[in-house]
Structure 1
């Protein structure tokens, strides 16, 4: 049985609305590959950037379990085990294998995962089976024409698709996957990267659509122009405010995303112990990719 949204708000530091939570989380970098090519996304292995899509390296599911054991000894207030990359969690089997181990060893831990949703429709039953409590799905458009401007390609069942054909497959799998997991009481948060030149006028439609399919919270992330979208502008405060105002007509809006690395450990916005856990110091550099 998944943890309720109300319990997530009290135990999960990313859902602690209002008063800041002192609970911690650990991200396990077990997912090496991705199956879509977003024009704004630049995944990497380094110790300098503080953003999703980045980790200092990859560990195996068994190493991940040992890492959690180490982390909770140092920081007992860790309540959440998450996998957010650095690749997509459903593009390879390692994230779900990791959660299966965590479920047996730490049954009371909140299990949190992020995905682009391309494989969510097909793997929804497995997501539910391993006990995911909170699932984040990145949905940047629900109109194939708009999505085709954001995503270069997808790799689906061993074949590369591009343009609107790829966009239609991705959107259908995202929305149907969200519906399937929420019917089993998994809390779904949807992330949307706000790209002023592409999807600014589409935010209200995305929010309404994902809400209709069962998502319960919505996170609008301002684009940091890079990679193939370095020609776009970063949305200003007014644009972000307006996008959130439009989305709030249909769904609760999340406002304090920390853009965490795929190997972050500790309290978001507070104490970080990733150096002790992964033996490398995490240094901050302002850039961005979605998880």
Structure 2
């Protein structure tokens, strides 16, 4: 990374310089730095099985060794089981710089997530802490994330228009009720935007994931990217839909269509172009996962 490539962040409309710790969280994170993806690794701890929304493209499998996609893992760990795995990983693969929680459900809807983050802060404070979320509970949980040192956040934002969002989500669980249709989409979007702003105000580094769903949100993606840039999001990741569940008949975008969409979004926000759609238990460098040997009992 050149000296001036990421000199400031836009917070409340003002250019605020990154401090050295923020720069570390960029330079050593394989999702936030395309150079780091060749030299640094990450490990995802699959401790969060429950989810509080149902996306129409999502099938979560907890015992699936042959698929590489979000929502998939071979074993759901208990928080106390993660420490042995982290010790083994850092000893065997010292290039791992990031410890993240990305499922297989919604991390913020599982107390196990916070139990794990507490253990990590006490025992492994140095690795970058990262978390992926749908954003529904982010405003309520942001202070707890900050307390446990989470500095990198990924929020999946598939629409900024509830009329489009209601086509993407079957339901949203909110305060003990299942919301459907427009009501669900409006609640989710409101919480997402509020949480993103709060995270950026706290100088967290935010990545937005948008699932590219032809015929559903493809005409809307540039609007999402523009909004992300205006809010001060660090990077934007476009993920082609995997045809499954209610969207099993949708034809995903081609690589050329994805690149064309990224090019359209790039004037508004930095594009992540090297995503590997990681599993919830992924360990290693992007595209070079090594979790098989670490989970082995031998």
TM-score between the two structures when normalised by the length of structure 2: 0.89
Report whether the alignment pairs 1:40 with 2:39.
no
Quote the Cα distance in structure 1 between the aligned partners of 2:279 and 2:196: 24
Cα distance change on mapping 1:208 and 1:189 into 2, 3 Å:
same
The residue that corresponds to 1:84 in the other structure is 102
1:56-71 map, 5 Å: 56-71=74-89
Cα distance change on mapping 1:237 and 1:278 into 2, 3 Å:
same
The residue that corresponds to 1:95 in the other structure is 113
Deviations 1:91-122 (A, max 9, x none): 11111221121112111110011001111111
Cα distance change on mapping 1:198 and 1:5 into 2, 3 Å:
farther
The SS at the match of 2:166 is helix
In structure 2, runs of 5+ residues without a counterpart are: 1-17
Aligned length: 280
The structure showing larger relative contact order (alpha-carbon pairs under 8 Å, at least 6 residues apart) is 1
The SS at the match of 1:149 is coil
Report whether the alignment pairs 1:181 with 2:195.
no
Deviations 1:193-246 (A, max 9, x none): 001101111011111222233311100011121110012111123321232122
Cα distance change on mapping 1:182 and 1:123 into 2, 3 Å:
same
The SS at the match of 1:218 is strand
The SS at the match of 1:245 is helix
Report whether the alignment pairs 1:131 with 2:145.
no
User: C-alpha root-mean-square deviation of aligned residues, in Å?
Assistant: 1.9
CA contact (8 A) 2:31 2:37 kept: no
Report whether the alignment pairs 1:156 with 2:179.
no
The residue that corresponds to 2:287 in the other structure is 269
The SS at the match of 2:57 is coil
| Residue of 112, 123, 127 corresponding to 1:109 | 127
Quote the Cα distance in structure 1 between the aligned partners of 2:172 and 2:135: 11
The SS at the match of 1:221 is strand
The residue that corresponds to 2:3 in the other structure is none
Deviations 1:157-191 (A, max 9, x none): 11100001000000000010010011111100000
The SS at the match of 1:249 is coil
Quote the Cα distance in structure 2 between the aligned partners of 1:189 and 1:269: 19
Quote the Cα distance in structure 2 between the aligned partners of 1:221 and 1:65: 31
Quote the Cα distance in structure 2 between the aligned partners of 1:51 and 1:20: 18
CA contact (8 A) 1:39 1:151 kept: yes
Quote the Cα distance in structure 2 between the aligned partners of 1:239 and 1:23: 29
In structure 1, runs of 5+ residues without a counterpart are: 281-291
The residue that corresponds to 2:13 in the other structure is none
| Residue of 170, 186, 189 corresponding to 1:171 | 189
The residue that corresponds to 2:5 in the other structure is none
The residue that corresponds to 1:17 in the other structure is 34
CA contact (8 A) 1:225 1:233 kept: yes
CA drift of 1:273 comes to 2.5
TM-score between the two structures when normalised by the length of structure 1: 0.91
